Amino acid sequence: MATAYHNLSDYDFNSVPNAEEMKFGIVVSEWNDKITGALLDGAINTLKKHGGIMKEISVKALAKVNLGLDVVRKRPDGYHEVRMIMQTIHLFDRLEITRNQSGRITMSTNLAFLPTNENNLVYKAAALLKEEFDIGDGIDVKLHKHIPVAAGMAGGSTDAAAVLYGMNRIFDLGLSKEDLMTRGVKLGADVPYCIMRGTVLSEGIGEILTPVAALAEGIGEKLSALPPMVKCPVLIAKPQIGVSTKFVYENLKLDADTVHPDIDGLIGAIRAKNLEQIAGHMGNVLETVTIPNYPVIAEIKEHMMEHGAAHAMMSGSGPTVFGLFANGDTAVAAYEAMRESNLAKQVYLTSIYNNAR
Ligand code: ATP
């Protein structure tokens, strides 16, 4: 079954730095993993003891889906208050970050349509730390982009989070996870979550807000870790349409008829580690806008359900749909059927990712 999973798992190597890497001051890190994190710390200390400096780090930037997304109310100032259950999945971009002496921030990526200048969140994250810590050296970033772009999977935010993490290591800034989250919120409301990762309840004002407003409202403080989600296969399908987050929120009607997902019930089901119960409580209020406007989203959901998903739902403001499966073989068959259906341009089979914290 493993071979049928998306070939990103090919990148999923053991990250213990070997002697050759140590010699050149290159350390490859499996971000945040408890064991390899400790090994990495040990490796960096050894490197420092021998007068070496860390020159390069390779970091995974993991995507998220929303197991639940509710908009509680629209405030008079136009901001939407949300309650979301965020879940990290094992679909990721990889960032190779190399220290340079030119002092410049440069980046390249496999996707030609992405900006590689100061409009990329990778650049913004690097510039933020470089300025605050008055870092003379620069960095070159190679971004291997796999997470669907503008798709409700926090792709840009997780890349920014990975740069903050990587630069903290390379330049030995000594920042804690909380310190990184405080910096992250300046870049985007989802960045603190991408640093935290796992199964998290996010409350407050949502992703359409400016980062500064998010900081003022303390979005980082409103992230609460939940017990780890049941580990199961996750099928991802992104149709070839663009959905504007602004359009979705502007067209969201909240009235007495609005069916809100039961976020508290979902939290209970996650605590109970019962996939069937979780599936029964999943919901995304933003589908009330996207499904009537983009019927392909409903078609993809139906396709996944017909092929045995415990539940299928849109992530964030879409258009990506994800399905959770109780059984690996069923998930593989659904993945193959989805690829043949031509409903979606990007199709991945991946899994729930939970850090041991
Ligand atoms: P969210 O789930 O937080 O709403 P998203 O999946 O909708 O995020 P992103 O993939 O983060 O959206 O990208 C949205 C826009 O941001 C893109 O159109 C792109 O031009 C820009 N962008 C800037 N930096 C990046 C990056 N590193 N990766 C992807 N997009 C980026």
The active-site residue, picked from 60, 64, 130, 238, is 64
202 or 30, greater pLDDT? 202
* pLDDT exceeds cutoff 60 at 12: no
Percent of the chain at pLDDT > 90 equals: 64
Q: What is the pLDDT of residues 259-286, one digit of tens each?
A: 999 999 999 999 999 999 999 999 999 9
Ligand 1 centroid–CA 290 distance in Å is 19
* Catalytic entry in 60, 190, 238, 301: 190
Closest CA to 334 of 343, 344, 325, 321: 325
Can you give the length of the chain in residues? 357
Give the largest Cα separation in the chain, rounded. Answer: 67
Average pLDDT over residues 293-299: 97
- Do 149 and 240 touch, CB atoms closer than 8 A? no
Q: Look at residue 8 and tell me whether its pLDDT is greater than 80.
A: no
Tokens of 59: 């970091």
On whether the CB atoms of residues 156 and 187 are closer than 8 A, the answer is: no
The CB density around residue 94, as the number of other CB atoms within 10 Å, is: 17
- Active site includes 64? yes
Nearest CA to ligand 1 atom 18: 150
Question: What mean pLDDT is reported for the chain?
Answer: 83
β-sheet bridge partners, residue 284: 69
Question: Which residues does ligand 1 sit against, CB inside 6 Å?
Answer: 114-115, 120-122, 149-157, 159, 190, 207, 245, 316
> What is the Cα–Cα distance from 44 to 172, expressed in whole angstroms?
9
pLDDT of residue 50: 62
Q: How far apart are CA 196 and CA 70, in angstroms?
A: 21
Residue 257 alpha carbon to ligand 1 centre in Å: 32
Name which residue sits closest to atom 12 of ligand 1, judged by CA.
Answer: 150
HSE toward the beta carbon, residue 325, CA cutoff 13 A: 23
How do residues 84-141 score in pLDDT, each as one tens digit?
A: 999 999 999 999 999 999 999 999 999 999 999 999 999 999 999 999 999 999 999 9
Q: To the nearest 10°, report the CA torsion of 326, 225, 120, 236.
A: 10
Return the ligand 1 atom nearest residue 156 CA: 11
User: Which DSSP string corresponds to 286-341?
Assistant: THHHHHHH-HHHHHHHHHHHHTT-SEEEE-TTSS-EEEE-S-HHHHHHHHHHHHHH
Distance 158 CA to ligand 1 centre (A): 9
| pLDDT score, position 11 | 28
Quote the ligand 1 centre to 345 CA distance (angstroms): 17
Question: Which atom of ligand 1 lies at the shortest distance from residue 152's CA?
Answer: 2
Write the pLDDT tens digit of every residue in 167-222.
999 999 999 988 998 899 899 889 988 998 899 888 886 443 333 333 334 444 47
Active site residue 190: yes
